[in-house]
Structures are given as structure tokens and as C-alpha cells.
Amino acid sequence: MATTTCTTNTPKIEEKPKVLVLQRINAYFEGVLSPHFDLIKADESSLPIPAFLSTHCRHIRALLVMAPIGTFGSSLLDQLPSLGLIACTSAGVNHIDVDACRKRSVAVTNAGEMFTPDAADHTVGLLVDVLRRVVMADRYVRNGSWMLIGDYPLGSKVSGKRVGIVGLGSIGSHVAKRLTAFGCPISYFSRAPKPNYPSYTYFPNVLDLARESDVLILSCALTDETRNIINRDVMIALGKDGVIINVGRGALIDEPELVRCLKEGVIGGAGLDVFVNEPEVPEELTHMENVVLSDHRAVTTPESFKNVLELAIANLDAFFSGKPVLSPVSC
Amino acid sequence: MDKIGVLVTHKPLPYLEQELTRRGCRLFRLWESPESRRLEFCRENSSEIRAIVGNSNFGADAATIDALPKLEIVASFSVGLDKVDLPKCKERGIRVTNTPDVLTDDVADLAIGLTISVMRRIPSADKYARSGAWKKGEYTLTTRFSGKRVGILGLGRIGLAIAKRAEAFDCPISYYSRSEKPHPNYTYYSTPVDLASNCDILVVACALTEETRHIVNRAVIDALGPKGVLINIGRGPHVDEPELVAALVEGRLGGAGLDVFENEPHVPEELFALDNVVLVPHVASATIETRTAMADLVLGNLEAHFLKKPLLTAVV
């Protein structure tokens, strides 16, 4: 039998759950999250991280990771013995040691599908801009060349190009839907064929996919299996008019080899939003006219950020209520 | 087409020039004369010229037609015929052909490409990524394209192709046209201002006529507003260019993707400093594949005419 005891103290205000943040958090993110959670910000402490963790974080159950920078693995997990969730606001989780987390029963959540429309849009934008030379043509106009020299050289038609998608997940399938409307036949390589997409042609390996494609779209996760999945052989198979669009991770491509293949005309062009060692961009690429480069901005829109934060809050709320999280990373 | 005199108004695709020559045509290269001498050039060669191959810059205006009494056919290397005096051709019994359908995909592809490039600021991203100024963790906020309301001025072949592509980005489609079309999924607006008030991205995809000159005027630009984006893959004169420039410079319009200008190749220099604008030099059909197909249509139409067969794509 429980009796309610009245105390003379003020009723305890329900505390917001504590969420650890090791990276610098921007004002917008903080503004959205702080009404829901007590953000424990390591970078505001004068203590170095290890001391901060051992002093303040023994009971921390949730960690928020925003930028996909750095590594979050065993040595960190060892210092967070109560951790049960790493909530990421990125789509890619190659910076998280997902295996180590699984072994310690630490759930990992990511951006789910929140970034998908923007990533797919940016992919199509990069493709049109490479084939139709939009960026270079824009420069041509702005530097007065249209007046002085005359017509700009011809580009290459987008509609009808054979598109090969490496990784037919959320982003890949949204790219496929968009490019289908451009009359592009779609093929793909994935770990297994996708019965949901009978009109797309499955290839069991990237080499065969490249041989039968004019364009390769990289939209898969970076794992040990997919590191350097685009190598010289694949680029030779793609051919001298072939174009690669990468909105996944830089390390999906053998970057020095890509630069060589572009220089030598082994492939025709590339649209790259990601690089192996951001923000470093291989210097030779910066002089090429048959490439379009962007600063890892495939998903940086207010719409994406709002949605990904709502999802992060939902994941954290579910976790703290003992419910299943919404966007767990599949191992 | 042995010995038939063909006036070519612009520097042609090498393939087209080769083919015309191979088939026996005698080519008169109008673009090689200075502008002030062009009518004279026509008169000097008028006894031979029986065909004109024009383009979107120079077709066949009244003065040129008058200078060529033996002119039988104008085969335009374009789909737009705003530079051809159609009533005069009708009057004189001169046939006119254009290049519809073969360029529809290219133009629609570019319209979407320009839209994404403007909204996601791809040219300035490229410049930034090349500059060495990109710092770790820094990002630029741009704005989403998917799901935005797309309004199309003119729902002809090109307008429909643009709509089809935009639908794949989950964009609700609306349009203005002289009359409502049987497209239940697309919302019709009976004036350009109403259309502009109800969309986020306005695309110009109609023919240039007396009625559609400056169809995008101050009122339409105001209705589109500081978050709105204008995409022009039609003709420069569709838009009141000084009003457009002022609106962009003053921030009253959110952005623009422009393939055409009122006085090509002149482009208002005030636009060069803006990163919410993408400018391309009239390249909507400028791919090897499409220009070759356009050339084949021009050749096919000319040959059909001189062999007294039905024309492939006659407008007059």
C-alpha cells in the first residue's frame, strides 16, 4: 500500500534527460533540442575530454553525434559505461564503430530518410550540371566570353543515358525515380537484388554495372566492403564518355586513381560532393572543366535539418521511454 | 539538292554544313557579313537563294524575305519561330519548318537542372570547393527543391516534359495557358499573376508571340516574391529584363536560372555578382545528340521540299 506523503519541499520538477554532446553544437540545433534534453556539452568544460568523461559522464545514457567527423569506437564506449544510445544526425555512420556498439548493446540511430530528398535532388543537379556543362557555361557568361568568343561548346544529353546506381537504398531509389522521369533506364548493384524494383536491372557486381552504364551514381554506405569500390578497372569499364556522381563518401572511390582517370580521359567527367579527406580537394580536380565539385552540401537545407532534428528527438524520446528507437542503423 | 542556293544565317553545326554541301547545296554564309551589309549580301545572291536555314538568333524577317524573290522555304534550326515573319511567308507562299520534339528532352532537362542549380547554389559550391577556402565542418544552407510548387507558363510539349520531370520530385504542378488543358493532376490558373502567386518556381515554356512578350513583368515578379525562383528557357523577351535585374539585385525575387536574354549575347552585368542566379548562354538544345537530330530534321525538310514530297515538320 502506498501512501502519498506531503513534504514541505517544492515538488521535484521532472528533470530533462541528459544527452552528451562532444562536438560543438550550433545555435539552431541547440535551440531545437534544449527544451527536450539537458545537453551536457563537453566542449564548454575546461577539462580535457577523458577527464570530463570520467568526472561527469558515468551515468550518461545517450550521446548525440552531429557532424560525421572523428571516430566513435571502443575507447570512447569504455568511458561511457551507462551508454545505451548514440543518436546521429547524419545518414552515414562510417565514423561510428557499429560493431563495438552492438557488442555493448548500444543502439545507433541515424538520419533515417530525412536527408533523402535533398541528397537525391543534389545528385540529379550534379549530373545535369556535369553533362550539360552548366557550371562552366555560367562562368563563360560571367567572364564575358559569350560576347567575345561566341557560342559555348556542346554538352551531352541527359535524357536516355543509362544510369547505374551503386547502392539502391533510400537515396539510390529516390535518384532512380527522378531519373526515370528523364527517360533514363536504371540498373543497380546492391548486396542483393531488390524485388520492389522489377523495372530496374540488377547486376551482381560493380564492374558489370559499369560496363552497361553511361553514368554511375554512388549512393551506398561506406563500409570495409565498399571502400574503393570504384577503382581503375571499374572506371575503364565505364568508359571515356562515362560520368561518376558521388554523394556518398569520398572513400568509395580510389581518389588518386579517379584524378588520373579524369586526366587521361579514361572517364568523361565527375560530379563530387564528397572527398576522402574533406575539406581537402585534390588540387588537380580544381583545374578540370569536366567536373563539378561541391562542399558536402547535398543535404544542408533547413528542411532537412528540421526533419533530422525531429527524428533525433523522437529517437531519444523513445529510448528514454524504453520504447524501440525509430531509425536504428542496420548492421 | 544539287546546286540549290541555301542562305545559312548563323555558323552551323559542322555536320549540317557538311551534309548540305555533300548534297550539292551552294551555301551563302550570312553570318560572315557584318550586320550592316547583310541585306546587301542577300540581294547580291538573290538569284540563287531558294532556301534559308535560320536559327533562334536570326531567322527570316520581312526585309530579308523581300530581298530574296526566289525564296521557297525557311527551315529553322530551332523550334521557336519568333524570328520568322510567318504572315509574310504565308503571303508569299514560302514554306516554314522548325525542329519540334527532338529538342524537348534537352530543354526540359536543362529547366530542371537550372532549378536545382539555383536552389542548391551549385555554381557557387563549385567555386568554393575549388577555392581552398572550404573549412572542416562548415556548411552553407541552401533550400530544398523537392516538393516545391512548380508553375509553368505554357503547357505545350516542353511544358509537359518539364511537368513530368518535376512530378518525380514530388512537386505539385500548376500552369497558365491560353486555355485549360485536360490534365486533372495539374492546377490551371487563368492569369500569369495568379500562377506566380501560387508557386515557388515559375518556368517560362511558351512560344514568344505578340501576346507573350514581357509575360513576366513587374506584377508577376512581385507575385513570385522574395523566395520565388524564375527559370527562363523560352526567349529573352518573355521577361521584362530591367525589372528582373532590379528585383534580383534588390532581393525582391529569390533567384533565377536564365538560358535566354533580351539581347543575346549581352547579359546584364549586375547579375554577375549574384550567387542566387545561374546564367547559361542559350544552351537548352546544345547537346551533340540533339543538334544532330535538329540538323537531320532541317536536311529532311529541305530535301522533302525540293523533291516535292510532304514536309516533315511544317508550320507554314
Mean per-residue pLDDT over chain A, rounded: 94
Distance of residue B69 Cα from the nearest chain A Cα, in angstroms? 31
Average confidence (pLDDT) over B34-55: 97
d(CA B192, CA B239): 12
| Res A15: pLDDT | 85
Q: Residue B186: pLDDT band by 50, 70, 90 thresholds?
A: very high
Whether B123 and chain A come into contact, CB under 8 Å, resolves to yes
Mean per-residue pLDDT over chain B, rounded: 97
Q: Does A30 participate in catalysis according to the annotation?
A: no
- Which of B145, B261, B272, B292 is the best substitution to test chain A (most A C-beta atoms within 10 A)? B145
Three-state SS for B279?
strand
Q: Residue B1: pLDDT band by 50, 70, 90 thresholds?
A: confident
**Which amino acid appears at position A14 of this protein?**
E
Question: Which of residues 105 through 164 in chain A touch B, CB cutoff 8 A?
Answer: 117-118, 120-122, 124-126, 128-129, 131-135, 137-142, 146-147, 150-152, 154-160
Residue A325: CB atoms within 10 A of its CB come to: 19
Residue A133: CB atoms within 10 A of its CB come to: 25
pTM of the model: 0.93
Query: What's the distance, CA A18 to chain centroid?
Result: 26
Q: What is the pLDDT of residues A230-273, one digit of tens each?
A: 999 999 999 999 999 999 999 999 999 999 999 999 999 999 99
Q: What is the pLDDT of residues A161-199, one digit of tens each?
A: 999 999 999 999 999 999 999 999 999 999 999 999 999
**Which amino acid appears at position B60 of this protein?**
A
Phi-psi region at B296: left, alpha or beta (left = phi > 0; alpha = psi -120 to 50)? alpha
Q: What is the pLDDT of residues A202-227, one digit of tens each?
A: 999 999 999 999 999 999 999 999 99
Q: Which residues of A touch B117 (CB under 8 A)?
A: 125, 128-129, 134-135, 138
Q: Residue A13: pLDDT band by 50, 70, 90 thresholds?
A: low
Residue B17: CB atoms within 10 A of its CB come to: 17
| Res B136: pLDDT | 78
Average confidence (pLDDT) over A324-330: 92
Q: Which of A61, A122, A174, A249 is catalytic?
A: A249
Q: Which residues of B touch A296 (CB under 8 A)?
A: 139
Q: What is the pLDDT of residues B47-95, one digit of tens each?
A: 999 999 999 999 999 999 999 999 999 999 999 999 999 999 999 999 9
Whether B227 and chain A come into contact, CB under 8 Å, resolves to no
pLDDT over threshold 90, residue B138: no
Q: What is the pLDDT of residues A30-74, one digit of tens each?
A: 999 999 999 999 989 999 999 999 999 999 999 999 988 889 999
Report whether B1 contacts B306 (CB < 8 A): yes
